[in-house]
Amino acid sequence: MKKIVGVFLFVLMGTILFAKEVLYVGTNAEFAPFEYMENGEIVGFDIELINKVGEKIGKEIKIKNIAFDGLLPALQTDKIDLIIAGMTVTKEREQFVDFSNDYFIANQVIIVPENESSITDVDSLKGKKVGVVLGYTGDLMVSKVEGVDKVQYNSAPASIMALAGGKIDAMILDSAPAQSYIAKNKGLKIVELDSEVEKYAIAVGKDKKELVEQINKALEEIKTEGIYDELIIKYFK
């Protein structure tokens, strides 16, 4: 018995001594190829990237899947330490959180049925039923155009389904996920926009300057070591 207790204590101490500090990372796994579900697991470009960052800074990464509009509140209330979710750096968000250096450049595009020809730019969305995802930058962009019948969805896949089912005329989404979703949904096409460039970055709580520096250093190394390019090829080529 004593022996068993001894072994148990030994293992326990080892676990405590060598356990890596955990970083809880919030994402919303409805944004392929950045984060999505595959065989019950959260996978994607962002997930691999943040795990590499974790390796570099010697911390264990634990992913939490949260609704996109719940991510910032979760970070502000310390339920998570970081957000990686294809999240665009915006002035509004910067009031509440800090961002790492950016790791991806994107822009907004319109997705329409293949036979749609009257929608060519943001202004031509007037009078149309346009799907957006709640709280996304695309949601904000459409809100600035008067006369658009905006329909908010909780996720990109939900909006894509509505579009494919003819419930809406068009939808707005970030460029890379738009490519990924139309590849899996026949009969849809992309209308490119000369919309503003958006920069994706990792969000960190306001009081965590040191963590932001560590993340930036890790991102830098991941780029110079070619790991970043490997991930780009894996998920986007």
Token pair 């909780």: residue: 154
Q: Sort strands 30-31 and 35-38 into parallel, antiparallel or unpaired.
A: antiparallel
Reading phi first (left if > 0) and then psi (alpha if -120 to 50, else beta), residue 5 is in: alpha
Q: Report the site for ligand GLN in 16-45 (rule: CB under 6 A).
A: 28, 31
Q: How far apart are the first and last CA of the chain?
A: 58
- The nearest distance, CB 95 to ligand GLN, in angstroms, is 15
Cα–Cα distance between 58 and 79 in angstroms, integer?
A: 20
Position 81 contacts ligand GLN (CB under 6 A): no
- The nearest distance, CB 68 to ligand GLN, in angstroms, is 5
Binding segment for ligand GLN among 53-61, 133-141, 187-195, 214-222 (CB under 6 A)? Answer: 133-141
- The nearest distance, CB 198 to ligand GLN, in angstroms, is 6
Position 136 contacts ligand GLN (CB under 6 A): yes
Q: Sort strands 129-133 and 149-153 into parallel, antiparallel or unpaired.
A: parallel
Q: Which is nearer to ligand GLN, 56 or 202 (CB)?
A: 202
List the one residue from 87, 211, 212, 218 that touches ligand GLN (CB under 6 A).
87
Position 100 contacts ligand GLN (CB under 6 A): no
Ranges assigned E (strand) in 66-124: 82-83, 98-106, 108-113
Position 181 contacts ligand GLN (CB under 6 A): no
Position 85 contacts ligand GLN (CB under 6 A): yes
Q: Which is nearer to ligand GLN, 137 or 195 (CB)?
A: 137
Position 66 contacts ligand GLN (CB under 6 A): no
Hey, what are 236's tokens? Answer: 């986007």
Position 99 contacts ligand GLN (CB under 6 A): no
Q: Produce one character per residue of 122-142: b if its CB has 16 or more CB atoms within 10 Å, e if not.
A: beebeebbbbbbebbbbbebb
Q: Is 224 exposed, middle or buried, given 0-12, 13-18 or 19+ CB atoms closer than 10 A?
A: exposed
Q: How many residues bind ligand GLN (CB under 6 A)?
A: 12
Binding site for ligand GLN (CB under 6 A): 28, 31, 68, 85-88, 133, 136-137, 174, 198
